[in-house]
C-alpha cells in the first residue's frame, strides 16, 4: 500500500501509494496539511475534492427541484416551461465540473489498460448525460410526438454521492494511517547535548550525531536511541512499543527515541539518529508491509477486473433486450443502473483499508509487520517451532556453579579463564559468566585469536595457550572425557552446562540457570488450544530443555541443535503443515526466513531484522497471541469486505438488469448509486472496527 516517507524533523508523511480495485490509486501526499490521492493516474486533492463536492451539491439542489424524479414530474414543473433548459444548463456544468475527477481517473485506467471503477463511473454518468440532453432536445425542439424522460435528477445525485464517497474514502484512509503518522510527532525538536566544556547546550535534532552525550530531565521526551551513561529513571515507551507500564532504566540500559522520561534525570550516549533510529525503522517496516501486495489484494484486483467486464456485458445485453421489449428510454435507464451498481469502489477499498488499519495498529502495539503475505496464512499454521533462550526464557543467565576438574587451577582461576575467552561474545551465556567474574573482582586476561565455534562455544589463546569454552555435546563429538553423571545431575536442575577445555582435557565445569518468561506458559496454552503444536528447539542440553518444556506444557522438544539443524527441522515439519518459527532473529535467521511465518523476538534498536516476517518489539511471548489474533481478525475483515464490496453484485446486477421487472421489482440509477455508496461506507466502517486484542 505504498510508500510512507516520514521525516523526523519535518514530520512530513510523504507519499502513500494504494492499489485501488486493480488500478494504481497512486500517491497520497499529506505534507503541508493537504492530501493528494491518485485515481487512475489523476491526482485528487483533498481540499479540491471538498470544494467540488459542495459546489456540485449547490448545483444539485435546483436540478432536483426542477427535473423529473425517476421519470415523474412534480405539479409545479408543468407551469415552469423553461425548467428543462435551466436543468440542462446546470446539469452540463455539473457534469463537467463534478465529473472531472472521474473522467481523468478513467483516462488513466484506459491508458494503463486496466479499466475499473473510474471507467464505470464515467461510463454511467456519460450515458445518463447524453441521453438527458437528447431528452431535452426531443421534448422541446424536435417534438417527435413521444415525451422522453431525462436523467438529470439521477445524474446530479450520482455525481454528488460519488464525490461524497471519495471524500469519505480519503478521510478514512488518512485516519487509518494516522496511528503511524503519530510516530513522526514523538521526537522533540531539540536535544540537550554535552559540550567540550562539560556544559549542556540545546541543539536542533538534525544536528544530533551518534556518540553525543544527551541530558534528559524528568518529563522530557528522549530525542534519539541510545545507552544510558549516567543517572536513572522510569521511562514510558507506550507510544513507541505499546508497553503500557513505565520501565525502570539505569546505566547501560537502552533507551528509544520518542519515549518519555517520567522521573529522574539521565544522560545517554546516542547510538541511532535519523534513518538509523528506531522510529525510522518502524516506519520503514510499515512502509515495506504496506507496499507489498498480498494474495487477498491480488484477489480483489482480479475480482474488480472480472466485475468490469461482467457489468459491461450485462449492461449491453440488458439494453438490447429492453430496447426491443420496452423501448430505448427504459433500456437506457436499466443499462445505466447496471453500470452504477457494478462500480467496484468498495471492492477497491476492501483490502487496502484493512491492511492500513492492521499495520498501523500493529506498529503502535509493538508488532512490526514486514511481510503481510505471510501473515495471511495464520489459519493454516500447524506447528510453532520456537527457540528456548531469549524466547521462552529471559536469556539472562546466572552462574550457579563453577568447579575446577583438575588440581592445576582453582575455581576462581577457571572462572577467570572462561570469562577471558568469552569477554568479546554477546551471547547471553557469556554475559552471565562475565557478570560472575565482575562480582568476584577478577581481572580478565588478554585473549588472542578469538573465534566462535558454530553451535558449540568459543575458543581463544591466553598466554600462548589455546582454550575452549564448549558444550557437553562438543565434548562427546570430539571424544573428550568428562563425568557424564555429574553433567546429568547439574543439567537436570535446569542448568545450561559448559566446559573449559585445553587440548583433550576438560579443565572445569560451569553451570548457568535461566528464568522462564512470565507469559511463556500463556503463549503455549493458546497455541495448544488453537490447534498449533508448540515445538521447543534449543542448542542446550536435553535435560535442561525437558525441564523447561515440562514446566510450560510443551510435549515436543528438539535439543543439542546447531543453527543449521533448526532450519532442517523447519523443512521437516513443513512436510506435515505450515510452520511458524519464533526466534531471536540473529542465529535463527535461516529458520526465520524458511518458515511460513517467521516471528523475531527483538527490542530497541535491534528491531530491524531482515529475515523475519514480523518483529515483536517487546520480546514478550504474549505478543505472539496478540499477533495471531490480529492476523486472523484481519483476514476475516478482508473476506467480509470482499463480500460487501463485490458479493452483493451477485444479486444486484441481475436485479438492476430487470430480471424481476415482470413482477414490478426494478432498480433506478439513484437506487444503484445509493447501494454502491452504502457498500463503500460499510467496507470503511468494517475495516476501522479492527482492533488489537490484548
Q: Is residue 567 part of a domain?
A: yes
- Top-ranked range on mean pLDDT: pick from 26-40, 153-167, 228-242, 525-539: 525-539
Q: Is the pLDDT of residue 284 over 70?
A: no
Per-residue confidence at 288, pLDDT binned at 50, 70, 90?
A: low
596 and 663 belong to one structural domain? no
End-to-end, the C-alpha distance of the chain in Å comes to 26
pLDDT on residue 579 = 93
Q: Would you name the residues annotated as active-site residues?
A: 387
Q: When comparing pLDDT for 375 and 299, which is higher?
A: 375
Per-residue confidence at 360, pLDDT binned at 50, 70, 90?
A: confident
Q: When comparing pLDDT for 478 and 280, which is higher?
A: 478
**Residue 288 CB-density burial (10 A; 0-12 exposed, 13-18 middle, 19+ buried):** middle
Cα 28 from Cα 98, distance rounded (Å)? 21
pLDDT (tens digit per residue) in 365-422: 778 777 777 777 788 899 999 888 778 887 778 898 999 998 889 999 999 999 999 8
Per-residue confidence at 573, pLDDT binned at 50, 70, 90?
A: very high
Q: Is residue 39 part of a domain?
A: no
453 and 541 belong to one structural domain? no
Q: What is the CATH number of the domain that holds 236?
A: 2.70.150.10
Q: Is residue 73 part of a domain?
A: no
Cα 476 from Cα 482, distance rounded (Å)? 9
508 and 437 belong to one structural domain? yes
Which residue, of 252, 284, 316, is where some domain finishes? 284
Which residue, of 513, 537, 561, is where some domain finishes? 513
Tell me if the pTM is above 0.95. no
Cα 154 from Cα 67, distance rounded (Å)? 10
Cα 234 from Cα 471, distance rounded (Å)? 39
Residues facing 682 on adjacent strands: none
pLDDT (tens digit per residue) in 197-210: 888 888 887 788 88
584 and 642 belong to one structural domain? no
pLDDT on residue 252 = 85
Pairing, β 254-255 against β 225-231 = antiparallel
Tell me the DSSP string of 400-439.
Answer: EEEEESSTTS-HHHHHHHHHHHHTT--SHHHHHHHHHHHH
CB 346 within 8 A of CB 645: yes
323 and 425 belong to one structural domain? no
Q: What is the CATH number of the domain that holds 535?
A: 3.40.50.1000
Question: How many other C-beta atoms can be found within 10 angstroms of the C-beta atom of residue 264?
Answer: 16
Q: What is the CATH number of the domain that holds 492?
A: 3.40.1110.10
How many structural domains compose the chain? 4
525 and 605 belong to one structural domain? yes
CB 514 within 8 A of CB 496: yes
488 and 405 belong to one structural domain? yes
Which residue, of 623, 648, 677, is where some domain finishes? 623
Tell me the DSSP string of 558-588.
Answer: E-S--HHHHHHHHHHHHTTSEEEEEE-SSTT
Per-residue confidence at 245, pLDDT binned at 50, 70, 90?
A: low
pLDDT on residue 580 = 93
Q: Is residue 364 part of a domain?
A: yes
386 and 521 belong to one structural domain? yes
433 and 507 belong to one structural domain? yes
Task: Tell me which of 13-27, 462-476, 545-559, 645-659 is least confident.
Answer: 13-27
Q: When comparing pLDDT for 677 and 451, which is higher?
A: 451
Mutual angle of helices 278-291 and 345-363, in 10-degree steps: 150
Q: Is residue 628 part of a domain?
A: yes
pLDDT on residue 45 = 53
Q: When comparing pLDDT for 233 and 214, which is higher?
A: 214
600 and 673 belong to one structural domain? no
pLDDT (tens digit per residue) in 473-495: 899 888 999 999 899 888 888 78
Q: When comparing pLDDT for 30 and 112, which is higher?
A: 112
Per-residue confidence at 31, pLDDT binned at 50, 70, 90?
A: very low
**Average confidence score pLDDT of the chain:** 77
Task: Kindly state the helix (H) or strand (E) to which residue 667 belongs, with its residue range.
Answer: none
pLDDT on residue 362 = 82
Task: Tell me which of 81-90, 414-423, 501-510 is least confident.
Answer: 81-90
pLDDT on residue 41 = 42
Contacts for 377 with CB less than 8 Å, ≥ 6 apart: 578, 596, 597
Beta strands per DSSP E along 256-395: 260-261, 266-272, 367-369, 381-387
Residues facing 368 on adjacent strands: 615
Q: Is the pLDDT of residue 433 over 50?
A: yes
Question: Cα dist. 216→10, 163, 232 in Å?
Answer: 22, 49, 10
Residue 142 phi/psi, 5-degree rounding, is -80, -30
Contacts for 426 with CB less than 8 Å, ≥ 6 apart: none
Q: Is residue 9 part of a domain?
A: no
Q: When comparing pLDDT for 288 and 678, which is higher?
A: 678
pLDDT (tens digit per residue) in 330-345: 887 788 778 767 765 6
Q: Which residues of 490-511 are buried (b: 16+ CB within 10 A; e: fewer)?
A: bbeebbbbbbbbbeeebbbbbb
Cα 381 from Cα 537, distance rounded (Å)? 17
pLDDT (tens digit per residue) in 131-148: 788 878 877 787 655 555
CA neighbor of 303 nearest in space, from 116, 166, 124: 116
**Residue 292 CB-density burial (10 A; 0-12 exposed, 13-18 middle, 19+ buried):** middle
490 and 524 belong to one structural domain? no
Cα 304 from Cα 296, distance rounded (Å)? 12
Q: Is the pLDDT of residue 3 over 60?
A: no
Question: How many other C-beta atoms can be found within 10 angstroms of the C-beta atom of residue 175?
Answer: 16
Q: Is the pLDDT of residue 71 over 90?
A: no
pLDDT (tens digit per residue) in 630-666: 988 988 888 888 888 777 778 778 888 888 877 877 7
CB 620 within 8 A of CB 519: yes
Question: Cα dist. 2→5, 13, 37, 185, 410 in Å?
Answer: 10, 12, 12, 21, 63
Q: Is residue 46 part of a domain?
A: no
Averaged pLDDT, 221-229: 87
Q: What angle do CA 55, 130, 676 make, to 5 degrees?
A: 60
Cα 257 from Cα 226, distance rounded (Å)? 8
Cα Rg of the chain (Å, integer) = 33
Domain limits at 441?
A: 398-513
Q: When comparing pLDDT for 673 and 30, which is higher?
A: 673
Cα 652 from Cα 470, distance rounded (Å)? 71
CB 94 within 8 A of CB 177: no
404 and 498 belong to one structural domain? yes
Amino acid at each position: 500500500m505504498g510508500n510512507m516517507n516520514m521525516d523526523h524533523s519535518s514530520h512530513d508523511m510523504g507519499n502513500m501509494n494504494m492499489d485501488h480495485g486493480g488500478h494504481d490509486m497512486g500517491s497520497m501526499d499529506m505534507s503541508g496539511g493537504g492530501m493528494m490521492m491518485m485515481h487512475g493516474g489523476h491526482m485528487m486533492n483533498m481540499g479540491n475534492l471538498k470544494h467540488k463536492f459542495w459546489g456540485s451539491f449547490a448545483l444539485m439542489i435546483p436540478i432536483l427541484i426542477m427535473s423529473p424524479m425517476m421519470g415523474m414530474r412534480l405539479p409545479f414543473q408543468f407551469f415552469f416551461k423553461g425548467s428543462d433548459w435551466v436543468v440542462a444548463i446546470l446539469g452540463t456544468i455539473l457534469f463537467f465540473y463534478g465529473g472531472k475527477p472521474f473522467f481523468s481517473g478513467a483516462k488513466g485506467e484506459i491508458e494503463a489498460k486496466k479499466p475499473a471503477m473510474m471507467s464505470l463511473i464515467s461510463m454511467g454518468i456519460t450515458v445518463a448525460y447524453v441521453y438527458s440532453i437528447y431528452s431535452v432536445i426531443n421534448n422541446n425542439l424536435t417534438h417527435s410526438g413521444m415525451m422522453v424522460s431525462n436523467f438529470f435528477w439521477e445524474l446530479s445525485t450520482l455525481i454528488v454521492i460519488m464525490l461524497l464517497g471519495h471524500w469519505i474514502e480519503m478521510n478514512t484512509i488518512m485516519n487509518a494511517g494516522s496511528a503511524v503518522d503519530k510516530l513522526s510527532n514523538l521526537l522533540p525538536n531539540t536535544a540537550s547535548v554535552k559540550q567540550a566544556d562539560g556544559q549542556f547546550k540545546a541543539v536542533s535534532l538534525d544536528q544530533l550525531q551518534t556518540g553525543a552525550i544527551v541530558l534528559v530531565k524528568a518529563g522530557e521526551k528522549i530525542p534519539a536511541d541510545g545507552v544510558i551513561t549516567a543517572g536513572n529513571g522510569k521511562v514510558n515507551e507506550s507510544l513507541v512499543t505499546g508497553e503500557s507500564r513505565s520501565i525502570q532504566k539505569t546505566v547501560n540500559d537502552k533507551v528509544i527515541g520518542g519515549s518519555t522520561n517520567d522521573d529522574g534525570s539521565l544522560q545517554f550516549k546516542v547510538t541511532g539518529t535519523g534513518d538509523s533510529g528506531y522510529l525510522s525503522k518502524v516506519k520503514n517496516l510499515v512502509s515495506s508491509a504496506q507496499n507489498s501486495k498480498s494474495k487477498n489484494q491480488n484477489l480483489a484486483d482480479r475480482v474488480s477486473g472480472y466485475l468490469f467486464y461482467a457489468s459491461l456485458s450485462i449492461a449491453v445485453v440488458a439494453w438490447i433486450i429492453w430496447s426491443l421489449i420496452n423501448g430505448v428510454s427504459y433500456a437506457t435507464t436499466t443499462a445505466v443502473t447496471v453500470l452504477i451498481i457494478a462500480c467496484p469502489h468498495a471492492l477497491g477499498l476492501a483490502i487496502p483499508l484493512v491492511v492500513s488499519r492492521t499495520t498501523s495498529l500493529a506498529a503502535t502495539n509493538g508488532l512490526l509487520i514486514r511481510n503481510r503475505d505471510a501473515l495471511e496464512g495464520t489459519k493454516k499454521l500447524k506447528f510453532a517451532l520456537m527457540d528456548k533462550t531469549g524466547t521462552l526464557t529471559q536469556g539472562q543467565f546466572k552462574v550457579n556453579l563453577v568447579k575446577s576438574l583438575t588440581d592445576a587451577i582453582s575455581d576462581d582461576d577457571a572462572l577467570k579463564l572462561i570469562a577471558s575467552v568469552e569477554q568479546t561474545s554477546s551471547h547471553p551465556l557469556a554475559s552471565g559468566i562475565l557478570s560472575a567474574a565482575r562480582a568476584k573482582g577478577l581481572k580478565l586476561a588478554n585473549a588472542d585469536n578469538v573465534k566462535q565455534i558454530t553451535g558449540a562455544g568459543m575458543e581463544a589463546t591466553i598466554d600462548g595457550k589455546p582454550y575452549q569454552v564448549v558444550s557437553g555435546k562438543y565434548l562427546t563429538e570430539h571424544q573428550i572425557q568428562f563425568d557424564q553423571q555429574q553433567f546429568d545431575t547439574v543439567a537436570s536442575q535446569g542448568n545450561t552446562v559448559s566446559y573449559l577445555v585445553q587440548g583433550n582435557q576438560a579443565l572445569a565445569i560451569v553451570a548457568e540457570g535461566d528464568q522462564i518468561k512470565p507469559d511463556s506458559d500463556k503463549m503455549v496454552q493458546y497455541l495448544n488450544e488453537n490447534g498449533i503444536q508448540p515445538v521447543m528447539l534449543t542448542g542446550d542440553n536435553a535435560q535442561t530443555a525437558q525441564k523447561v518444556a515440562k514446566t510450560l506444557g510443551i510435549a515436543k522438544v528438539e535439543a543439542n541443535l546447531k543453527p543449521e539443524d533448526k532450519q532442517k527441522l523447519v523443512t521437516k515439519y513443513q512436510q506435515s503443515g505450515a510452520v511458524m518459527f519464533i526466534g531471536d532473529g540473529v542465529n535463527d535467521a535461516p529458520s526465520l526466513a524458511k518458515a511460513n511465518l517467521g516471528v523475531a523476538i527483538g527490542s530497541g534498536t535491534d528491531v530491524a531484522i531482515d529475515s523475519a516476517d514480523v518483529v515483536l518489539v517487546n520480546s514478550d511471548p504474549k505478543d505472539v497471541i496478540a499477533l495471531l489474533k490480529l492476523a486472523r481478525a484481519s483476514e476475516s475483515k478482508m473476506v467480509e469486505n470482499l463480500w460487501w464490496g463485490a458479493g452483493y453484485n451477485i444479486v444486484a446486477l441481475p436485479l438492476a438488469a430487470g430480471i424481476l421487472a415482470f413482477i414490478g421489482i426494478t432498480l433506478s440509477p439513484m437506487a444503484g448509486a445509493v447501494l454502491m455508496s452504502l457498500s463503500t461506507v460499510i467496507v470503511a466502517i468494517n475495516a476501522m472496527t479492527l482492533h488489537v486484542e490484548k
